[in-house]
Structure 1
């Protein structure tokens, strides 16, 4: 899908908000009230990202919600990747036909909240005695608040993890404990690489992975106030140089473009790469594909640099703003259901996403799963190293600028790393100013 202009959508959305400001509705005024019975069901639309097992999970949970009560009916609609979902949501909001509930990838929570497209949920929580906010994993709450107000509840949350073909690792004599740090990561990649075109690692040039590596080097992509970028630093160069040097050596394949992630996954599944970086959300699907291809895989923490750091990811559920009181309360009931302990357990077992509730992680079902398939527990344990993602309104555009420049550097090895990162920083700073 052709990407919509972010700034244009923000402008249009603000005009729509201005036009609606005289409606006299109070945000969250019915937070303590339950949905009242009526002759007709309240109809809600829910938009979600990603297909395969993730899509099945969304459709299954919505079906469960519809069957659990007779007052609300939710229609689930697939909208593509996070970028596509966000662009479609912005366009639909500007046109006045946005879904009542949707997903915000966590780095975009601030963008949607500050532009007025999503509902402040603080009063809903304060007026609802059924929900226990202390039960949500604290490591996943950093991207839920904007200006100390709650705008989303953790739903399908993740961290990037390392996947390794252990059947292949045994064949080349590698320790199945996996690489613990950058040095060992390079050694494993070299051992997997052969003259037939197999590489140690095939990965996408992706902002999420770069956030992981720069944090491991001791840096960050933005300062704490999100007022300036900091990736054009010694730490940023160390992270990018690791990729570039391994690429030059032929042990790392860097994929770019809209299909970069899928290319990397296919390289791993088809035995053209020994290791793979991906979200824990891909775990169930990759286990299935590995079984079909006849190899064993295991999961590991991301290799550490100076520090053991990893960004959290995935999506929070949000309510779009400007809804009538009846639909507000219906949307809140749906969000509560989707993020409740039982549904969190189901989603984690079905996909591999992190259990966002402490009660879910400690449940008998999840403990039994971890005993049977320890690959599912790796991301949960790695959450101790988790970082929130930057939420500057401009960050989606900054991330695109940085990825574009890193791609340029990957295609042209003659460009110094310093020039690549400074070029991206100059464009990003102009955007921030």
Structure 2
């Protein structure tokens, strides 16, 4: 989270830049023609996250390079989303950005309005091969800024509930019975023992966005001018967390967000918690960990309350602004390849991320996957309840503020949920004003 402190300073420097005026359609695409002297067009692609996600990125880039002989892409790992974004902003300021990069969806508007990313609308309009109707509509809410397309859905996700099926069976609990908040809290009580809690969960804005929406609330008003997460719905959501924490059915690891998330996962893998919230993107890795630790893993949708809602997450692929026409065309060909149905199916099977294309869900690869490992289908079924994430400028800083105030509440029992959220909202509204 410390990396996010770079955002306001770098964006101030970048705000004077303007996005490239748009694509002028070339006589031949980069993939067809290459450079005039026959040399390959060199592109750099920056991505976030390692393990299975990193392997997937490297594998797909290799497939692209082998699929044609006009463009050569070099994939480079840049750490977490926060680290990737900070490095990208610095590279843009130094006038040496990667041609293509992943952009976590809540950053799409920030990067676009700072002139760091290219409007892709004209590329889509000029390319008969791309079918925008094939992208899952539940994933498109964070792709447009002021009616213009700035990113194509790539590795996209929703949070889901992971459960230790072995523990559930020993406790006599049917996972299908957990539908509502009440079901969830009752199960957490049943699953809690002297050596184990019902669920281990870090303070994560994504999970708060989920519970807030389920209680009927919104993070920010429709005009994007005032944060509203401190209204009744937000208080109800945070009160649920506080009550479960105080009764001992919920463990909330402390510390820096990534370390807290790692600890929550370790609790789950070690059998110290029976449930765990995380991204569907972790599914392949979690199945591997479950096998290594000799328990059976299952998945379920997030529990519902007044509404059944879940935020979408993950990243879109974006093109850096200011590229020459030749590199624009090459970057577009690469983005198009990485988000094509076949590659979307491959990435989903390899990692657990959602297949971003409707046609990808219908491929033999995905259909066989759902038969063999039904845990993968949960996130796709849940996507019908998906919400776009807030993209208002300054939201990355607001995320840090909300996490800080909730963590204060956890550490100090005298702080009530309403007071914690009011403090967060006051600070957050100052950021966007």
Q: What TM-score bracket applies, with the shorter chain setting the length?
A: over 0.9
Contact residue 200 and residue 276 of structure 2 kept, 8 A: yes
* In 2: Cα distance, 1:40 partner to 1:321 partner: 23
Q: Name the structure 2 match of 1:280.
A: 280
- Counterpart secondary structure, 1:231: coil
* In 2: Cα distance, 1:13 partner to 1:431 partner: 18
Q: Name the structure 2 match of 1:201.
A: 199
Q: Name the structure 2 match of 1:79.
A: 78
- Counterpart secondary structure, 1:5: helix
Contact residue 158 and residue 354 of structure 1 kept, 8 A: yes
* In 1: Cα distance, 2:260 partner to 2:324 partner: 41
* In 2: Cα distance, 1:232 partner to 1:31 partner: 51
* In 1: Cα distance, 2:396 partner to 2:145 partner: 16
* Distance apart, 1:395 and its partner CA: 1.0
Q: Name the structure 1 match of 2:322.
A: 322
Q: Name the structure 1 match of 2:13.
A: 12
Q: Could you list the runs of 4 or more consecutive aligned residues of structure 1 that deviate by over 3 angstroms after TM superposition?
A: none
Taking a change above 3 Å as real, the CA distance of residues 417 and 26 of structure 1, as seen in their structure-2 partners, is closer
* In 1: Cα distance, 2:88 partner to 2:227 partner: 27
Contact residue 34 and residue 71 of structure 2 kept, 8 A: no
- Counterpart secondary structure, 2:179: coil
Structure 2 residue corresponding to 1:233, chosen from 231, 234, 241? 231
Q: Name the structure 2 match of 1:89.
A: 88
TM-score under structure 1 normalisation?
0.96
TM-score under structure 2 normalisation?
0.96
* Distance apart, 1:37 and its partner CA: 2.8
Contact residue 217 and residue 239 of structure 1 kept, 8 A: yes
Residues 412-423 of structure 1: pairs in structure 2 closer than 5 A: 412-423=412-423
Structure 2 residue corresponding to 1:37, chosen from 18, 34, 42? 34
Taking a change above 3 Å as real, the CA distance of residues 189 and 31 of structure 1, as seen in their structure-2 partners, is farther
Contact residue 31 and residue 125 of structure 1 kept, 8 A: no
* In 2: Cα distance, 1:165 partner to 1:255 partner: 19
* In 2: Cα distance, 1:104 partner to 1:55 partner: 15
Q: Name the structure 2 match of 1:141.
A: 140
* Distance apart, 1:94 and its partner CA: 0.5
* In 1: Cα distance, 2:156 partner to 2:26 partner: 25
- Counterpart secondary structure, 1:380: helix
Contact residue 34 and residue 41 of structure 2 kept, 8 A: no
Q: Name the structure 2 match of 1:132.
A: 131
Residues 82-231 of structure 1: pairs in structure 2 closer than 5 A: 82-196=81-195, 198-231=196-229
Cα deviation code 1:122-146 (max 9, x no counterpart): 0000000111111000111010000
* In 1: Cα distance, 2:213 partner to 2:21 partner: 41
Cα deviation code 1:245-296 (max 9, x no counterpart): 1000111011242311111111111111100000000001000110111100
* In 2: Cα distance, 1:79 partner to 1:56 partner: 13
Q: How many residues align?
A: 426
**Structure 2 gap segments, 5+ residues each:** none
* Distance apart, 1:385 and its partner CA: 0.5
* Distance apart, 1:32 and its partner CA: 7.3
* Distance apart, 1:14 and its partner CA: 3.0
* In 2: Cα distance, 1:194 partner to 1:292 partner: 24
Q: Name the structure 1 match of 2:23.
A: 28
Q: Name the structure 2 match of 1:342.
A: 342
Question: Which is further off, 360-369 or 295-304?
Answer: 360-369
* Distance apart, 1:368 and its partner CA: 1.2
Question: Which is further off, 170-179 or 321-330?
Answer: 170-179
Contact residue 158 and residue 312 of structure 2 kept, 8 A: yes
* In 2: Cα distance, 1:278 partner to 1:80 partner: 18
- Counterpart secondary structure, 1:118: coil
